Amino acid sequence: MLRSRQGLLLVEAVLSAVLIGVGLIFISRGLGGQLQALARVTEQDRLIALANSKLAELEGAMAFGHAPLSGQGSFGAPDEAYRWAVRAVPRQEEEGEPPACEVTLSVSREGASTVSMTAVWPAEWIPPAWF
Amino acid sequence: MVLRKLGHGARGTGRGGERGFTFVELLVAAAMVAVLFVGLAGHLQGGIMVWQRVTTTTQALQRERVAVQRLTRDLAGAFVYSANAATYGVSPKVPSPELSAGRLRWYTIEPSGPARRGQVRVVTYSCERLQSQVGLWRASQTVAQARDEEPVRELLLPDCDSLGVSFPYLPEDASQPLRWLPGWDPGASQDLPRFFELELRRAAVSKPPIRLMLALPAGLLKPPQDAAL
């Protein structure tokens, strides 16, 4: 909108200001989006760590015949907001293979994403409530 | 309002009869540029802050992952070096296994050399101040080195202030949940626990502790023997 030997009209000045303002809003949203993505990565990392820990605990306890009867629960402080649940599905085994189950552990927090991990454990470990 | 040039030819007449800017025009232009730069500077500062935060957090997460992977790998090969407690006290001494809040030390088999044969190593983890740096330090030595050499330590997790450990024991009543106690009783056969909870506490109050459940495939889950635990 450059014109030789003339000043800027108010409309032109306002348009320029609006364009710059819109640009700054997009930059702000981009920065906010980056912070949200960072929070999501941190949350996901926490969920994975909790799921790994719970899977190690369940596996260790069940190998010695001490399975939690309920297939769900919550974590201790400071992770009270997170909950875990397990589901077991019998596996189609080939002839001669010992019976096994696919156990899926899900860890979630209300309003946040969920992480699931699957392991194959002997069917004799699994309490009925998990099916 | 129209920002047209004022004072047609009255002032600021340049060479060739061309008109210059009036003082008001210059002031308005300077004010607009100033407002624009203030806005841009704010966003630039915000961008730098976000970039620093993303970098710091990502690096911290990466360091944590490396430390946890290292611990998990070392524990996967853990075994009872000798079931005889006296082995650890005779000369030449070999360090005794220790699973406490002060120090975690155990024997592990690590693939080593071109043939990937297992090599027995003594691994030690501790949170302490070394070389004027507080953190989680790891040392790994062969048994021969452990007899007569000071271990070379590597910093695994800066800012780690102290360790917390908790061990599971089978309850007397099998329908009850596991009993969690702060100490591990290895018993007469120097058993290792099947798994335990490790808490890595940070020096910075703002950083939450890292809690992990770590498994030792060669360990046991048993009832507590020592009532003092």
The domain containing residue B123 runs over which residues? 59-215
Q: Which residue of A has its CA nearest to B33?
A: A17
Instruction: For residue B21, tell me if it sits in a domain.
Output: no
More confident residue, B174 or B12: B174
Q: Do B164 and B173 contact (CB within 8 A), yes or no? A: no
Query: Count of domains in chain B?
Result: 1
Whole-angstrom Cα distance, residue B146 to residue B149? 6
Contact criterion met (CB < 8 Å) for A78 and B209: yes
Residue pairs spanning A and B at CB distance below 8 A: 95
Count the Cβ atoms, other than its own, within 10 Å of residue B122.
22
Q: What is the 8-class DSSP label of residue B61? A: H
Contact B220 A38 (CB under 8 A): no
Domains along the sequence of chain A with CATH: 10-130 (3.30.1300.30)
Question: Which of B73, B195, B216 should be substituted to probe chain A, the one whose Cβ sees the most A Cβ atoms within 10 Å?
Answer: B195
Give domain status of residue B208, yes or no: yes
B89 contact A CB<8A? no
B 18-77 near A (Cβ less than 8 A): 18-19, 25, 32, 36, 39-40, 43, 46-47, 50, 53-54, 57-58, 61, 64-65, 68
Least confident of A23-37, B2-16, B32-46, B120-134: B2-16
Tens of pLDDT, residue by residue over B50-106, are 999 999 989 999 999 999 999 999 999 999 999 988 888 766 678 899 999 989 999
Q: In terms of Cα–Cα distance, which of B59, B57, B62, B67 is closest to B214? A: B67
pLDDT tens digits for range A1-44: 444 556 678 888 788 888 888 888 888 888 889 889 989 998 99
Structural domain includes residue B172: yes
Query: Mean pLDDT throughout B160-176?
Result: 90
Burial class of residue A64 in the structure, from the number of CB atoms within 10 Å of its CB (0-12 exposed, 13-18 middle, 19+ buried): middle
Output the pLDDT for position B6.
Answer: 44
Using alpha carbons, select from B203, B126, B163, B158 the residue that is nearest to residue B60: B158
Indicate whether B15 belongs to any domain: no
Q: What is the pLDDT of residues B128-162, one digit of tens each?
A: 999 899 999 999 999 888 888 888 999 999 989 99
